[in-house]
Structure 1
Amino acid sequence: MGTIRTDDGRGRLGNVLSSVAVAVGCVLFLGGFAWGAVVYRPYTVPTDSMAPTVEIGDRVLAQRIDGDEVRRGDIVVFRDAGWGDLPMVKRVVAVGGDEVACCSDGRKLTVNGVPIEEPYLPDAVPASPGNFTAKVPAGQLFLLGDERIGSLDSRTHLEDPGQGSVARSAVEARLDAVAWPLGGGVLERPQSFAQLPGGVSRPGPVKLIVGSVLVGAVLIFGGAAWGPLARGLLARRRGKVPADAG
């Protein structure tokens, strides 16, 4: 009697695994995009007031959040009638109840008397070219641009009610990553604010979302390529092995 061939069985198993990989890949790929669309909003940065952290024209991903989730150090997108009622991008340096001042030593910002290291500022630039002091009302945020020389921020509105602060409810989203140009990457939370009550915010899920999309793409293309590749290898093997004798 002839021997029993198992090539067809292996081929069927390969087809099943290929189909499963493509199906799982589609779930991860499409699910990642859907998750990102729910959690994030894309913005184009309109000015250079946040340079060098984000430059004018950069495409950024901002996580939809409630104003109560904002922490010191966050870069937020907000809209306020007193600031022109347009989406603006600034960094939160103080929250309700804080006293923010600059610059007792000529260079550093202080919050409640604590000097704040700001590694995101351009080299050799003081925390503010002019001195100021403000007491932030409850439920408000004090915002500065990272480009402290030319940024129009809370310092510009110090004579307004609230000493230039903006209501937490004005916040629409928090920047998590620069999507374009490539290489901008995830925006790190400045740990210098972690020593203050409330600490810093936790990063959003952008890395998980990107990972889901990338893994999904690999599974889709890998699974789709496995079927034809396996059939080709099987056909070559059959061509080299003589038929079984009866």
Structure 2
Amino acid sequence: MDTEAQHTERGRSSATGTDESRPEARPRSVRMSEALRQLSLRRAGALGALGGVVLLLLSHFVLQPFLIPSTSMEPALEVGDRVLVNKLAYRFGSGPARGDVVVFDGTGSFVREAPEQNAVAGLVRGVAADLGLAEPAETDFVKRVIGVGGDRVVCCDKRGRLEVNGVPVEERYVYFGDAPSQVPFDIAVPQGTLFVMGDHRSKSRDSRDHLGEPGGGMVPLDKVIGRADWIGWPAGRWSSLEEPAGFDRVPAPGGAHG
């Protein structure tokens, strides 16, 4: 048996035969299938990127998820809730009303200046916060509007109730067992600003804590990001935030009862 001839023939066959590792040597149907798969992956990636851009634009201009980081707004809002902040609520002439839950930038009112941070890390964190995936910036706060420009807010009357423009307010949203405030105050809210407080009064650092500081703890209207209208997550807490009726009897500034 001529084994050398057999090896020679095998070598020639291997050299001239089909090498399936080369793309052009594969069946056309296989190549078409792979091309379609790669095209589908590229399309999916492009659609994902487009969807992300749309979500960021929606969050930036219309409806922003906001992760509740503390207990200061209990029982209405709990730690871990994602509220949906309506950024169009005050864009067409109307302003925040007493009882609204608002998200605002506290720079200059609650904090003197924004803390320094790495630019890239800040950008990533900002995007995550805009999508409700991370805690908000240290300068962003969520509180309830108690007084608007021109109001006189006093704490407290003989029955321990908050008064706005001479009218006592029944604050049913306040955390059970908390007083309206342990700190007495009598303030006039400057025009163009808001006086805000948390619902969990004993756990909230709000306008009361900054009365003696520059700005007096008042939140300028142009620092309001939007109104918290709904709880979007977790699913078991899906609901809208109710408008409290306690301020219905409060007169406009200048019409306070004697």
TM range (shorter): 0.5 to 0.7
State, as a whole percentage, how many aligned pairs show the same letter.
Answer: 42
Report how far residue 162 of structure 1 moved.
4.2
Report the equivalent of 1:163.
216
CA distance in 1, matches of 2:216, 2:154: 12
| 2:160 alignment partner in structure 1 | 107
Tell me whether 1:119 sits opposite 2:172 in the alignment. yes
> What amino acid does structure 2 have at the position aligned with 1:186?
S
Aligned partner letter, 1:156: D
Q: How does 1:44-63 map to 2 (within 5 A)?
A: 44-63=67-86
Judge conservation of contact 1:76–1:171 (CA < 8 Å) in 2: yes
Structure 1 unaligned blocks of 5 or more: 1-32, 199-246
Larger Rg: 2
Question: Equivalents in 2 of 1:69, 1:97: separation in Å?
Answer: 13
Aligned counterpart, 1:69: 95
Query: Could you tell me how far apart the structure 2 residues matched to 1:94 and 1:74 are?
Result: 10
- Equivalent residue, structure 2, for 1:149: 202
Once the two structures are TM-superposed, the CA of residue 87 in structure 1 deviates from its matched residue by 1.1
Provide the rounded CA distance (Å) in 1 between the counterparts of 2:95 and 2:62: 14
Kindly state the Cα deviation for residue 161 of structure 1 after the two structures are TM-superposed.
3.7
| 3-state secondary structure, aligned to 1:155 | helix
User: Do the aligned residues in 1 keep the contact of 2:72 with 2:201 (CA within 8 Å)?
Assistant: yes
CA distance in 2, matches of 1:169, 1:53: 25
Tell me, yes or no, if the aligned pair for 2:102 and 2:228 is still in contact at 8 Å.
yes
Unaligned runs of 5+ in 2: 1-53, 115-138, 253-258
Query: TM-score, normalised to structure 1's length?
Result: 0.62
Which residue is equivalent to 2:242? 188
Structure 2: distance between partners of 1:41 and 1:104: 38
Kept in 1, the 8 Å contact 2:157–2:168? The answer is no
Question: 4+ residue stretches of structure 1 with deviation over 4 A?
Answer: none
Aligned-residue offset at 1:96: 0.7
Shift of 1:187: 0.4
Contact 2:165 2:251 in 1 (8 A): no
AA at the equivalent of 2:197: L
Pairing partner for 1:132 from 180, 185, 209: 185
> How far is the alpha carbon of 1:176 from its aligned partner?
0.5
Question: 1:106·1:126 contact (CA, 8 Å) conserved in 2?
Answer: no
Q: Which has the higher contact order (CA 8 A, sep 6+)?
A: 1
Aligned partner of residue 191 in structure 1, secondary structure = coil
Q: CA offsets, 1:116-160, max 9 Å, x none? A: 011111223211122111110011100000010121000001112
Please identify which structure carries the higher helix content: 1
Query: Do 1:178 and 1:187's aligned partners in 2 also have CA atoms closer than 8 Å?
Result: yes
Could you tell me how far 1:196 is from its partner in structure 2?
2.8
Q: Does 1:81 align with 2:100?
A: no
* CA distance in structure 1 between the partners assigned to 2:75 and 2:95 by the alignment: 25
Q: Number of residue pairs matched? A: 167
**Cα RMSD, aligned residues only:** 2.4
